[in-house]
Chain A
Amino acid sequence: MSVIKPIVAANFADHIVQVLSPLLGPHTAKRALAMICKKAGKETHQLGPTDLPIAHATLRPMLRTLIGNDVTVRVLADLDAGGTPS
Protein backbone atom coordinates (compact mmCIF):
# COMPACT_ATOMS: atom_id res chain seq x y z
CA MET A 1 0.00 0.00 0.00
CA SER A 2 1.41 3.37 -0.96
CA VAL A 3 1.22 6.53 1.08
CA ILE A 4 0.73 9.96 -0.44
CA LYS A 5 3.24 12.38 0.97
CA PRO A 6 4.07 15.93 -0.06
CA ILE A 7 7.56 16.80 -1.17
CA VAL A 8 8.73 20.38 -1.13
CA ALA A 9 10.66 21.11 -4.30
CA ALA A 10 12.74 24.29 -4.24
CA ASN A 11 12.26 24.82 -7.95
CA PHE A 12 11.06 23.05 -11.05
CA ALA A 13 14.46 21.52 -11.81
CA ASP A 14 14.63 20.02 -8.31
CA HIS A 15 11.12 18.70 -8.80
CA ILE A 16 12.13 16.89 -12.00
CA VAL A 17 15.13 15.29 -10.26
CA GLN A 18 12.98 14.31 -7.25
CA VAL A 19 10.39 12.61 -9.44
CA LEU A 20 12.91 10.76 -11.61
CA SER A 21 15.54 9.80 -9.01
CA PRO A 22 13.74 6.83 -7.40
CA LEU A 23 13.31 5.29 -10.83
CA LEU A 24 16.46 6.30 -12.69
CA GLY A 25 18.87 6.92 -9.84
CA PRO A 26 20.27 10.36 -8.98
CA HIS A 27 22.95 10.36 -11.70
CA THR A 28 20.62 9.65 -14.60
CA ALA A 29 17.88 11.89 -13.19
CA LYS A 30 20.35 14.80 -13.34
CA ARG A 31 21.38 13.73 -16.82
CA ALA A 32 17.71 13.79 -17.87
CA LEU A 33 17.42 17.28 -16.42
CA ALA A 34 20.47 18.40 -18.39
CA MET A 35 18.90 17.04 -21.58
CA ILE A 36 15.68 18.95 -20.89
CA CYS A 37 17.69 22.14 -20.28
CA LYS A 38 19.60 21.63 -23.52
CA LYS A 39 16.40 21.15 -25.49
CA ALA A 40 14.76 24.17 -23.83
CA GLY A 41 17.88 26.26 -24.37
CA LYS A 42 17.87 27.29 -20.70
CA GLU A 43 19.97 26.96 -17.59
CA THR A 44 18.71 24.72 -14.79
CA HIS A 45 17.55 27.62 -12.61
CA GLN A 46 15.64 29.13 -15.53
CA LEU A 47 13.43 26.06 -16.02
CA GLY A 48 9.81 26.49 -15.03
CA PRO A 49 6.41 24.84 -15.36
CA THR A 50 6.03 26.41 -18.82
CA ASP A 51 8.77 24.03 -19.94
CA LEU A 52 6.68 20.97 -19.07
CA PRO A 53 5.82 20.22 -22.72
CA ILE A 54 9.54 20.21 -23.55
CA ALA A 55 10.23 17.97 -20.55
CA HIS A 56 7.53 15.56 -21.74
CA ALA A 57 8.78 15.58 -25.32
CA THR A 58 12.36 14.93 -24.15
CA LEU A 59 11.62 12.24 -21.59
CA ARG A 60 8.76 10.32 -23.23
CA PRO A 61 10.75 8.40 -25.88
CA MET A 62 13.62 7.65 -23.50
CA LEU A 63 11.41 6.43 -20.67
CA ARG A 64 9.15 4.47 -23.03
CA THR A 65 12.17 2.53 -24.23
CA LEU A 66 13.03 1.56 -20.67
CA ILE A 67 9.66 1.01 -18.98
CA GLY A 68 6.94 1.00 -21.62
CA ASN A 69 4.28 3.52 -22.52
CA ASP A 70 1.79 2.99 -19.71
CA VAL A 71 4.25 3.55 -16.89
CA THR A 72 5.88 6.44 -18.78
CA VAL A 73 2.51 8.23 -18.84
CA ARG A 74 2.27 7.82 -15.04
CA VAL A 75 5.77 9.13 -14.42
CA LEU A 76 5.16 12.15 -16.67
CA ALA A 77 1.90 12.78 -14.82
CA ASP A 78 3.98 13.00 -11.63
CA LEU A 79 6.02 15.73 -13.28
CA ASP A 80 2.78 17.58 -13.99
CA ALA A 81 1.84 17.37 -10.31
CA GLY A 82 4.59 19.85 -9.48
CA GLY A 83 4.13 21.90 -12.59
CA THR A 84 1.51 24.38 -11.42
CA PRO A 85 2.65 27.78 -12.67
CA SER A 86 3.59 30.10 -9.84
Chain B
Amino acid sequence: MSEPSFVLTRGPVGLRPALALLMLVAAVGGRIVLDLQVSTAAGELWQRAVEVFTAAVTGAVVLHFARDDPPRLPWSLFFVSMIIVPIVRLLSYLRVEPGGVPLAYLVIIGGNFVLVAAMLAFGRVLGSSELLSERTRDDRVRATAVVGLLALGALATIAYNTFEVAGRGLPTTLAGWISATANVVSTVCDAIAFAGSLYLVWLVRPLIGGLLARPYLLIAAAAGVFLAVDILLVAAGATTQTDLVVTGLRTQLPKWLGCLAYTGLALAASSQLALLRGLRRR
Protein backbone atom coordinates (compact mmCIF):
# COMPACT_ATOMS: atom_id res chain seq x y z
CA MET B 1 0.00 0.00 0.00
CA SER B 2 1.83 3.11 -1.20
CA GLU B 3 -0.55 5.80 0.08
CA PRO B 4 -2.03 6.25 3.51
CA SER B 5 -5.53 4.88 3.55
CA PHE B 6 -8.38 6.57 5.34
CA VAL B 7 -10.10 4.15 7.61
CA LEU B 8 -13.58 4.80 8.85
CA THR B 9 -13.69 4.01 12.50
CA ARG B 10 -15.91 5.05 15.35
CA GLY B 11 -15.38 6.68 18.66
CA PRO B 12 -14.75 4.59 21.76
CA VAL B 13 -17.20 1.84 22.57
CA GLY B 14 -17.68 0.15 25.91
CA LEU B 15 -18.59 1.39 29.35
CA ARG B 16 -16.84 4.66 30.13
CA PRO B 17 -14.66 4.41 33.27
CA ALA B 18 -16.19 7.58 34.73
CA LEU B 19 -19.69 6.12 34.38
CA ALA B 20 -18.52 2.82 35.88
CA LEU B 21 -17.03 4.66 38.85
CA LEU B 22 -20.21 6.64 39.28
CA MET B 23 -22.28 3.44 39.27
CA LEU B 24 -19.95 1.91 41.86
CA VAL B 25 -20.11 4.91 44.17
CA ALA B 26 -23.90 5.19 43.79
CA ALA B 27 -24.54 1.47 44.43
CA VAL B 28 -22.21 0.94 47.39
CA GLY B 29 -22.49 4.47 48.74
CA GLY B 30 -26.28 4.21 48.55
CA ARG B 31 -26.23 1.06 50.66
CA ILE B 32 -23.92 2.56 53.28
CA VAL B 33 -25.80 5.86 53.52
CA LEU B 34 -29.18 4.10 53.82
CA ASP B 35 -27.82 1.72 56.48
CA LEU B 36 -26.36 4.53 58.55
CA GLN B 37 -28.86 7.31 57.97
CA VAL B 38 -32.21 5.55 57.44
CA SER B 39 -32.34 1.88 58.46
CA THR B 40 -30.80 -1.50 57.70
CA ALA B 41 -34.09 -2.50 56.05
CA ALA B 42 -33.74 0.40 53.60
CA GLY B 43 -30.13 -0.65 52.93
CA GLU B 44 -31.24 -4.24 52.34
CA LEU B 45 -33.93 -3.07 49.93
CA TRP B 46 -31.33 -1.00 48.05
CA GLN B 47 -29.06 -4.03 47.72
CA ARG B 48 -31.94 -6.18 46.46
CA ALA B 49 -32.33 -3.61 43.67
CA VAL B 50 -28.58 -3.85 42.91
CA GLU B 51 -28.86 -7.66 42.75
CA VAL B 52 -31.89 -7.55 40.45
CA PHE B 53 -30.07 -5.01 38.24
CA THR B 54 -27.04 -7.34 38.08
CA ALA B 55 -29.23 -10.25 36.97
CA ALA B 56 -31.05 -8.07 34.41
CA VAL B 57 -27.85 -6.76 32.80
CA THR B 58 -26.36 -10.26 32.69
CA GLY B 59 -29.55 -11.48 30.99
CA ALA B 60 -29.26 -8.66 28.45
CA VAL B 61 -25.72 -9.80 27.60
CA VAL B 62 -26.99 -13.34 26.96
CA LEU B 63 -29.62 -12.00 24.56
CA HIS B 64 -26.92 -10.27 22.50
CA PHE B 65 -25.32 -13.59 21.61
CA ALA B 66 -26.72 -15.96 18.99
CA ARG B 67 -27.54 -19.52 20.02
CA ASP B 68 -24.37 -20.92 18.47
CA ASP B 69 -21.99 -18.20 19.71
CA PRO B 70 -19.39 -19.76 22.04
CA PRO B 71 -19.64 -17.03 24.75
CA ARG B 72 -23.38 -17.60 25.11
CA LEU B 73 -23.03 -20.68 27.33
CA PRO B 74 -20.79 -19.15 30.03
CA TRP B 75 -22.82 -15.93 30.06
CA SER B 76 -26.04 -17.99 30.31
CA LEU B 77 -24.67 -19.93 33.28
CA PHE B 78 -23.52 -16.66 34.83
CA PHE B 79 -27.02 -15.24 34.32
CA VAL B 80 -28.63 -18.28 35.99
CA SER B 81 -26.31 -17.92 38.99
CA MET B 82 -27.25 -14.22 39.23
CA ILE B 83 -31.03 -14.76 38.87
CA ILE B 84 -30.83 -17.32 41.69
CA VAL B 85 -29.75 -14.57 44.10
CA PRO B 86 -33.06 -12.63 44.13
CA ILE B 87 -34.87 -15.99 44.37
CA VAL B 88 -32.81 -16.89 47.44
CA ARG B 89 -33.57 -13.49 48.99
CA LEU B 90 -37.29 -13.93 48.32
CA LEU B 91 -37.35 -17.45 49.77
CA SER B 92 -35.44 -16.18 52.78
CA TYR B 93 -37.81 -13.23 53.23
CA LEU B 94 -40.90 -15.43 52.92
CA ARG B 95 -39.32 -18.03 55.23
CA VAL B 96 -40.14 -20.90 52.89
CA GLU B 97 -39.09 -23.85 55.03
CA PRO B 98 -40.79 -27.09 53.97
CA GLY B 99 -40.26 -29.66 56.73
CA GLY B 100 -38.30 -27.09 58.71
CA VAL B 101 -35.61 -26.93 56.01
CA PRO B 102 -34.88 -23.42 54.70
CA LEU B 103 -35.36 -23.73 50.93
CA ALA B 104 -33.14 -20.67 50.43
CA TYR B 105 -30.09 -22.65 51.67
CA LEU B 106 -30.77 -25.46 49.20
CA VAL B 107 -31.16 -23.01 46.33
CA ILE B 108 -27.99 -21.14 47.32
CA ILE B 109 -26.06 -24.43 47.21
CA GLY B 110 -27.34 -24.98 43.64
CA GLY B 111 -26.52 -21.37 42.72
CA ASN B 112 -22.94 -21.79 43.91
CA PHE B 113 -22.48 -24.82 41.67
CA VAL B 114 -23.86 -22.89 38.69
CA LEU B 115 -21.42 -20.02 39.39
CA VAL B 116 -18.51 -22.48 39.42
CA ALA B 117 -19.78 -23.99 36.15
CA ALA B 118 -19.92 -20.48 34.65
CA MET B 119 -16.30 -19.78 35.62
CA LEU B 120 -15.15 -23.10 34.17
CA ALA B 121 -17.13 -22.40 30.97
CA PHE B 122 -15.57 -18.91 30.67
CA GLY B 123 -12.12 -20.45 31.07
CA ARG B 124 -12.87 -23.12 28.48
CA VAL B 125 -14.18 -20.63 25.90
CA LEU B 126 -11.38 -18.09 26.39
CA GLY B 127 -8.75 -20.81 26.45
CA SER B 128 -10.03 -22.23 23.17
CA SER B 129 -9.29 -19.01 21.27
CA GLU B 130 -5.92 -19.33 19.57
CA LEU B 131 -5.32 -15.66 20.35
CA LEU B 132 -5.17 -16.32 24.07
CA SER B 133 -4.12 -19.94 24.53
CA GLU B 134 -0.63 -20.54 25.76
CA ARG B 135 1.70 -22.25 23.37
CA THR B 136 5.13 -22.43 24.97
CA ARG B 137 6.20 -24.91 27.64
CA ASP B 138 7.42 -22.10 29.93
CA ASP B 139 4.04 -20.40 29.75
CA ARG B 140 2.29 -23.62 30.67
CA VAL B 141 4.64 -24.17 33.63
CA ARG B 142 4.05 -20.61 34.87
CA ALA B 143 0.27 -21.00 34.46
CA THR B 144 0.31 -24.29 36.38
CA ALA B 145 2.38 -22.72 39.17
CA VAL B 146 -0.03 -19.79 39.52
CA VAL B 147 -3.11 -22.03 39.51
CA GLY B 148 -1.38 -24.34 42.03
CA LEU B 149 -0.72 -21.43 44.39
CA LEU B 150 -4.32 -20.28 44.02
CA ALA B 151 -5.54 -23.80 44.79
CA LEU B 152 -3.43 -23.81 47.98
CA GLY B 153 -4.89 -20.46 49.04
CA ALA B 154 -8.39 -21.73 48.29
CA LEU B 155 -7.74 -24.91 50.32
CA ALA B 156 -6.54 -22.85 53.27
CA THR B 157 -9.71 -20.76 53.16
CA ILE B 158 -11.91 -23.84 52.90
CA ALA B 159 -10.08 -25.48 55.80
CA TYR B 160 -10.51 -22.37 57.97
CA ASN B 161 -14.22 -22.15 57.29
CA THR B 162 -14.80 -25.90 57.70
CA PHE B 163 -13.06 -25.92 61.10
CA GLU B 164 -14.95 -22.78 62.07
CA VAL B 165 -18.29 -24.48 61.27
CA ALA B 166 -17.22 -27.81 62.84
CA GLY B 167 -16.01 -25.99 65.95
CA ARG B 168 -19.59 -25.06 66.78
CA GLY B 169 -20.38 -28.74 67.32
CA LEU B 170 -22.44 -31.09 65.19
CA PRO B 171 -25.81 -29.72 64.10
CA THR B 172 -28.72 -31.35 65.84
CA THR B 173 -31.43 -30.67 63.27
CA LEU B 174 -31.83 -31.24 59.55
CA ALA B 175 -32.02 -27.47 59.04
CA GLY B 176 -28.77 -27.13 60.98
CA TRP B 177 -27.04 -29.72 58.80
CA ILE B 178 -28.24 -27.98 55.63
CA SER B 179 -27.09 -24.61 56.95
CA ALA B 180 -23.65 -26.03 57.78
CA THR B 181 -23.49 -27.73 54.36
CA ALA B 182 -24.50 -24.49 52.66
CA ASN B 183 -21.68 -22.69 54.54
CA VAL B 184 -19.03 -25.16 53.50
CA VAL B 185 -20.33 -25.61 49.93
CA SER B 186 -20.59 -21.85 49.53
CA THR B 187 -16.99 -21.36 50.65
CA VAL B 188 -15.70 -24.23 48.50
CA CYS B 189 -17.59 -22.94 45.46
CA ASP B 190 -16.60 -19.31 46.04
CA ALA B 191 -12.96 -20.36 46.47
CA ILE B 192 -13.14 -22.33 43.19
CA ALA B 193 -14.93 -19.44 41.50
CA PHE B 194 -12.26 -17.02 42.78
CA ALA B 195 -9.42 -19.29 41.62
CA GLY B 196 -11.27 -19.77 38.33
CA SER B 197 -11.73 -16.04 37.90
CA LEU B 198 -8.02 -15.42 38.56
CA TYR B 199 -7.31 -18.04 35.92
CA LEU B 200 -9.52 -15.95 33.63
CA VAL B 201 -7.32 -12.95 34.41
CA TRP B 202 -4.31 -15.07 33.53
CA LEU B 203 -5.95 -16.02 30.25
CA VAL B 204 -7.00 -12.49 29.29
CA ARG B 205 -3.80 -10.78 30.43
CA PRO B 206 -2.65 -10.40 26.79
CA LEU B 207 -5.90 -8.50 26.21
CA ILE B 208 -5.20 -5.93 28.92
CA GLY B 209 -5.50 -2.51 27.33
CA GLY B 210 -8.38 -3.79 25.21
CA LEU B 211 -12.10 -3.55 25.96
CA LEU B 212 -12.51 -7.33 25.91
CA ALA B 213 -10.47 -7.81 29.09
CA ARG B 214 -12.56 -5.50 31.29
CA PRO B 215 -15.52 -7.79 32.09
CA TYR B 216 -13.22 -10.62 33.16
CA LEU B 217 -11.05 -8.36 35.34
CA LEU B 218 -14.19 -7.09 37.06
CA ILE B 219 -15.53 -10.63 37.55
CA ALA B 220 -12.23 -11.64 39.18
CA ALA B 221 -12.30 -8.63 41.50
CA ALA B 222 -15.91 -9.36 42.49
CA ALA B 223 -15.14 -13.06 43.07
CA GLY B 224 -12.34 -12.06 45.45
CA VAL B 225 -14.71 -9.84 47.41
CA PHE B 226 -17.28 -12.68 47.56
CA LEU B 227 -14.66 -14.97 49.09
CA ALA B 228 -13.95 -12.33 51.75
CA VAL B 229 -17.70 -12.06 52.41
CA ASP B 230 -17.88 -15.85 52.89
CA ILE B 231 -15.11 -15.79 55.48
CA LEU B 232 -16.80 -12.92 57.34
CA LEU B 233 -20.20 -14.67 57.20
CA VAL B 234 -18.81 -17.90 58.65
CA ALA B 235 -16.98 -15.92 61.34
CA ALA B 236 -20.29 -14.26 62.23
CA GLY B 237 -22.13 -17.62 62.25
CA ALA B 238 -24.40 -16.77 59.31
CA THR B 239 -25.14 -18.55 56.03
CA THR B 240 -26.41 -15.68 53.89
CA GLN B 241 -26.01 -11.93 54.18
CA THR B 242 -29.67 -11.56 55.08
CA ASP B 243 -29.13 -13.86 58.10
CA LEU B 244 -26.90 -11.25 59.70
CA VAL B 245 -28.46 -9.16 62.42
CA VAL B 246 -26.68 -5.82 62.43
CA THR B 247 -24.99 -5.16 65.74
CA GLY B 248 -22.02 -3.17 64.55
CA LEU B 249 -19.37 -2.84 61.89
CA ARG B 250 -18.48 -6.56 62.09
CA THR B 251 -21.96 -7.52 60.90
CA GLN B 252 -22.38 -4.57 58.57
CA LEU B 253 -19.13 -5.03 56.69
CA PRO B 254 -20.14 -8.33 54.98
CA LYS B 255 -23.30 -6.62 53.72
CA TRP B 256 -21.37 -3.65 52.29
CA LEU B 257 -18.77 -5.95 50.75
CA GLY B 258 -21.59 -8.07 49.33
CA CYS B 259 -23.06 -4.96 47.74
CA LEU B 260 -19.60 -4.12 46.36
CA ALA B 261 -19.24 -7.63 44.89
CA TYR B 262 -22.66 -7.56 43.19
CA THR B 263 -21.91 -4.09 41.86
CA GLY B 264 -18.63 -5.44 40.47
CA LEU B 265 -20.52 -8.18 38.66
CA ALA B 266 -23.09 -5.65 37.41
CA LEU B 267 -20.23 -3.54 36.05
CA ALA B 268 -18.68 -6.61 34.41
CA ALA B 269 -21.95 -7.40 32.64
CA SER B 270 -22.55 -3.70 31.82
CA SER B 271 -19.06 -3.47 30.37
CA GLN B 272 -19.67 -6.52 28.16
CA LEU B 273 -23.11 -5.23 27.17
CA ALA B 274 -21.78 -1.77 26.25
CA LEU B 275 -19.04 -3.40 24.19
CA LEU B 276 -21.44 -5.65 22.30
CA ARG B 277 -23.97 -2.88 21.70
CA GLY B 278 -21.28 -0.39 20.70
CA LEU B 279 -19.68 -2.73 18.19
CA ARG B 280 -23.05 -3.77 16.76
CA ARG B 281 -23.86 -0.17 15.95
CA ARG B 282 -20.65 0.28 13.94
A residues adjacent to B (C-beta < 8 A): 1-12, 15, 18-19, 21-29, 31-32, 35, 48-49, 61-71, 74-75, 77-78, 81-82, 84, 86
Q: A2-B281, A82-B5 are in contact. Are A65 and B70 (CB under 8 A)?
A: yes
User: Which residues on B sit within 8 Å (CB–CB) of A77?
Assistant: 282
Q: Is B172 an interface residue (CB 8 A)?
A: no
Please give me the residue from chain A that is nearest to B131 by CB atom. A62
User: Which residues on B sit within 8 Å (CB–CB) of A19?
Assistant: 7, 9
Please give me the residue from chain B that is nearest to A28 by CB atom. B206
Q: Is B9 in contact with A78, judged by CB distance below 8 angstroms?
A: yes
Q: Is B6 in contact with A8, judged by CB distance below 8 angstroms?
A: yes
Q: List 10 other contacts, CB 8 Å, given A61-B130, A69-B66.
A: A1-B11, A8-B6, A9-B7, A25-B206, A27-B207, A65-B129, A66-B71, A66-B126, A67-B212, A70-B280
Q: Is A64 in contact with B70, judged by CB distance below 8 angstroms?
A: yes
B residues adjacent to A (C-beta < 8 A): 1-13, 64-66, 68-72, 125-126, 128-132, 206-213, 275-276, 278-282
Q: Is B212 in contact with A24, judged by CB distance below 8 angstroms?
A: yes
Q: Is B7 in contact with A78, judged by CB distance below 8 angstroms?
A: yes
What would 27 A/B residue contacts be, using CB atoms closer than 8 Å?
A2-B282, A3-B10, A8-B5, A12-B5, A18-B7, A21-B210, A24-B131, A25-B206, A26-B210, A27-B206, A27-B207, A29-B210, A32-B131, A35-B130, A62-B129, A62-B130, A63-B131, A65-B126, A66-B71, A67-B71, A67-B275, A69-B66, A70-B69, A78-B7, A81-B7, A86-B1, A86-B3
Q: Is A28 in contact with B207, judged by CB distance below 8 angstroms?
A: yes
Q: Is B71 in contact with A4, judged by CB distance below 8 angstroms?
A: no
A12 to B1, CA, bound (A): 7
Name A71's contact: one of B9, B130, B279 (CB within 8 Å): B279
Please classify the interface of chain A as helix (H, G, I), strand (E, B), loop, or mixed, using the class held by over half of its residues: helix
Give min CB distance, B144 to chain A, whole Å. 22
User: Which residues on A sit within 8 Å (CB–CB) of B132?
Assistant: 28, 66
Name the residue among A7, A12, A19, A23 with the largest chain B CB count within 10 angstroms. Answer: A23
Give min CB distance, B277 to chain A, whole Å. 10
Please give me the residue from chain A that is nearest to B12 by CB atom. A22
Name B208's contact: one of A10, A18, A25, A81 (CB within 8 Å): A25
Q: Is A48 in contact with B1, judged by CB distance below 8 angstroms?
A: yes
Q: Is A25 in contact with B209, judged by CB distance below 8 angstroms?
A: yes
Name A74's contact: one of B2, B7, B70, B280 (CB within 8 Å): B280
User: Which residues on A sit within 8 Å (CB–CB) of B1?
Assistant: 11-12, 48-49, 86
Name B4's contact: one of A9, A48, A65 (CB within 8 Å): A9
User: Which residues on B sit within 8 Å (CB–CB) of A35?
Assistant: 130-131
Please give me the residue from chain B that is nearest to A1 by CB atom. B11
